[in-house]
Amino acid sequence: MKKKLFLFVTPDGITYSSPQKTYPDVDNFQVLGESEGINEEDAFKSFVDKNQWILDTDFKELICIEVKSKISRGKSFILKK
């Protein structure tokens, strides 16, 4: 079977929209990385095997999303100049 590419994200954690913010003000997902596998479970196992640091974090939930291309190949957009 052909391997597919999956992105791993988590809703856990906090994000600030700027360094001037005192409190987290963005409710979003954090991208943890990507991995290949024949299915989600296979990709998750590969992701954890290659990213042992994830076991030392307080993240509780990871969400797996199949994607078409690696993050580094994605189109980049500029919000402000």
Say if 81 falls within a structural domain.
no
d(CA 4, CA 36): 5
Q: What is the pLDDT along the chain (81 residues), one digit of tens a residue?
A: 899 999 999 998 777 788 888 877 777 889 999 999 999 999 999 999 999 999 999 999 999 999 998 877 888 888 887
Say if 67 falls within a structural domain.
yes
β-partners of residue 30 are 10
Say if 24 falls within a structural domain.
yes
Q: What is the pLDDT of residue 7?
A: 96
Q: What is the pLDDT of residue 63?
A: 96
Say if 79 falls within a structural domain.
no
Say if 76 falls within a structural domain.
no
Say if 44 falls within a structural domain.
yes
Q: What is the pLDDT of residue 66?
A: 96
Number of domains in the chain: 1
Say if 80 falls within a structural domain.
no
The 3-state DSSP composition of the chain as helix, strand, coil percent (nearest 5) reads 25, 25, 50
Note the helical H segments in the chain: 40-50
Strand-strand pairing, 63-67 and 4-10? antiparallel
Give residue 14's domain range: 4-71
pTM to 2 decimal places: 0.78
